[in-house]
Amino acid sequence: MTKIRNILIVPDKFKGSLTAAEVADSLETAVRRQLVGGPRARIVKLPMADGGDGSMEVVESALQGRCRRVSVPTVDPLMRPIEAPVLLFDDDRQAFIEMAKVCGLAMLAPEERNPERTTSYGLGILMAAALDLGCRQITVGIGGSATNDGGEGMLCALEETSKMRWPGGAAGSFEPKRPRWVRKGSDALRFLRSLFERAKLTVACDVDNPLLGPSGATMVFGPQKGADADMLARLEQRMEQFAAEVGLDTLLPGGGAAGGVGAALHLLGARMVPGWQLFGEMAGLEEKIAAADFILTGEGRFDSQSLDGKLISGILTLCKSYKKKPIVVCGRCSLPASVWKKAGIGDVYALGEVESDPKRSMAEAAALLSGSRTRVAGCDEAGRGCLAGPVFAAAVILPEGFSHPLLNDSKQLTEAQRDELRPVIEREAVAWAVTAVDAEEIDRINILNASIEGMRRSLDKLTVKPDLVLIDGNRFSSWNNTPAHTVVKGDATVQAIAAASVLAKTHRDEYMRNLAKEYPQYGWDRNVAYPTEKHRAAIRQYGITPYHRRSFNLMGSDDSLF
C-alpha cells in the first residue's frame, strides 16, 4: 500500500491565461493523474497572489466568507466611470483594495495603453471611500497597474475628497495633472498623513524597484504599459520633477511599484510588506508548507523577478526553513537551471516545453497543466547493481485516468504483486517498450551510461511519441528534442515511472531465471544476479561466465579474477 501523501498546491495566476484558483485546480488534476497514490492524496489548494491581479480573491478565500465587498463608483485608468470593489472584514474595521481592479493594465485594450495618459486617480477614490466607511486599517495591493504617474492621480483624488474633511478646503473641479495643495512640507500633506495615522495604511507590494533610474518604475515597467523609448525619457523626467515637488523617497525599495504609487503611499505613512508575506500569514502558509510532502508553486512567467520579492521567492524562503524544495510550474522559464537550482528549487516544468507556440500555450494552459493534452512517458531501469546479465530499461505511456492500487516502485512490491501488475500495464498502456544492454556493453561504456542508453532505446521503440519524458534518478541526456526531466525516487512518485520500473524488473527477472537453467550454480533463479553471498561464493568456486560484468567488483573485495 502506497503512502498517503500531503501535497500543497500554492500557485500565483498565469497572467492573461488562468487565475490562481484555476491553476490550482488544473495542477490538482495533474497530481491525481500522475502521482503514485494520487487519487488518495491529501491535497491542499492555496491560490496565492503577491499584490497584483487576483489578490482580492486570495484574501476572500483566506477569510473563508468572513468579509463582504462594497461596490464604489470610481474611474478607470483613463478616467472613465466604473464601479470597483472595496473588501471589508473584521466587522468592517479593515479594508482591502486591489489596485488592479481600478487602475489595472488588464482593464485596457493594447491600443489604449499609454502611461502618459493613465492615472491612479481611481485608487484614491477607493481609499477615500474606505476612510468614509470608518475603516481603521487599509491594505492596498498595488501590482498589475497601468499607471506611471508616481501616485499623482491618487493624491489628487485624496486631495479632492479631503476638502470635505479639512476646514480650509473648498470644492472645485478636478483636472488630473498635479495635486494643487499637496506639496513637500505643505499643510495638505500633513493632513493627509494624519488621516492614515488613524487608519493605518499597509501596502502589499511584489517588487523592490526604486522610483527612478535604470531599475526604477519607468525604465523597468514602462514598456509593458505601452511606453516607447521616447516616452520613457519623458516619463522619467516627469517622475523626477514630481518626486522633488512632493517629496517622494526616490531610493525606497518598492517605491517604483505600480508606477511610483508605492513611493506615494509611503509618503502617506504606509508600511510596505511583500504581498506573499501578507497573504501567506492570513492563509497559514508556513504551517501548510511544514506539513506538506510535496509543494507545487508557479506563475505564468518565471524569470529573475520571480526570485526577487514575488510569490515564488517567498515560498522558497519558507521552504528553506523546513529543508524542502518546491516544484515550479510555469508558462515560460527564462532562468538557467543553475540559477533556480541554487535558489533551492527542485525542478521547473514549463508549458512552453510541450507547446512552443506562446498563443496556443496560453489558450490551452488548463489542458497542458492538468495533463489532459500531454502524453507522459515514464522511464526506469532494473539490474544496475547486478554482477551479471544485462541492465533492462523500460518506457511506458499510461492512459489518462489509469490507476491501480498496487502500482508503486517495483522494489516495494512482492514478486507476486509485480507479476500481477505486468500484464495489466502491458495491456492498458498507450505504448510500452523494454530493452536490454548486455554485460559486454556495460563493461565498455559503464553502468550509468548503459542505463541511460537502455532508456533511450526504449523510448525509441515506443509506437507513440511522448510530449514529456520523466526519468527515475538524477541523470539523463536529452532525447529526440522532447523535454525530459529526472525525478529522484521517481519510481515511488510518478505512476508512469513506477510502471516502467515494474516492466523493467519483471522482464529482467524472467530473463535471468531462464539463464539460470544454463548456469544453475550461481542461483540466478533466486538472486537474479544481485551480489548475494551465494552468488559470490559461486564465482570463487566456478569462475565467471560470459554474462558477468568484468568491470564490477565480482569478488566483493580487493581481490580480482583478472
Mean per-residue pLDDT pooled into runs of 10, the chain (562 residues): 82 90 95 90 90 88 90 96 96 96 95 96 96 94 94 91 49 45 79 88 90 96 95 96 94 95 96 89 92 95 85 93 96 94 95 92 93 93 96 96 91 95 98 98 96 97 96 89 94 96 98 96 96 94 95 74 44
Q: Which helix (H) or strand (E) holds 87?
A: strand 81-89
| pLDDT at residue 441 in the model | 97
User: At 35, which amino acid appears?
Assistant: L
The answer to whether 99 and 78 are in contact (CB under 8 A) is: no
The answer to whether 347 and 474 are in contact (CB under 8 A) is: no
Q: Is the dihedral of CA 483, 486, 492, 493 positive or negative?
A: negative
As a whole number of angstroms, the distance between CA 113 and CA 107 comes to 10
As a whole number of angstroms, the distance between CA 255 and CA 449 comes to 53
| pLDDT at residue 487 in the model | 95
The answer to whether 328 and 42 are in contact (CB under 8 A) is: no
**Angle made by CA atoms 100, 106, 109, in degrees to the nearest 5:** 140
| pLDDT at residue 180 in the model | 58
The answer to whether 75 and 122 are in contact (CB under 8 A) is: yes
CB-neighbour burial class of residue 450 (10 A; exposed 0-12, middle 13-18, buried 19+): buried
Backbone angles phi, psi at 19, to 5 degrees: -75, 165
| pLDDT at residue 182 in the model | 73
Residue 176: how many other CB atoms lie within 10 Å: 16
| pLDDT at residue 181 in the model | 65
Tens digit of each residue's pLDDT (9 = 90 or more) over 33-58: 999 988 889 999 999 887 888 899 98
As a whole number of angstroms, the distance between CA 201 and CA 195 comes to 10
Longest Cα–Cα distance of the chain, Å, equals: 107
| pLDDT at residue 170 in the model | 38
As a whole number of angstroms, the distance between CA 59 and CA 426 comes to 48
The answer to whether 178 and 134 are in contact (CB under 8 A) is: no
| pLDDT at residue 174 in the model | 37
| pLDDT at residue 161 in the model | 77
| pLDDT at residue 163 in the model | 53
User: In Å, what is the CA distance from 208 to each residue of 51, 244, 259, 263, 328?
Assistant: 13, 21, 12, 11, 22
As a whole number of angstroms, the distance between CA 204 and CA 52 comes to 9
| pLDDT at residue 159 in the model | 84
As a whole number of angstroms, the distance between CA 393 and CA 436 comes to 6
Taken in order of first residue, the domains within the chain and their CATH numbers are 6-46+295-370 (3.40.50.10350), 55-278 (3.90.1510.10), 376-514 (3.30.420.10)
Closest to 236 measured CA to CA, from 262, 217, 252, 223: 217
Helix/strand number for the chain, H first, E second: 22, 16
| pLDDT at residue 167 in the model | 41
Backbone angles phi, psi at 175, to 5 degrees: -125, 115
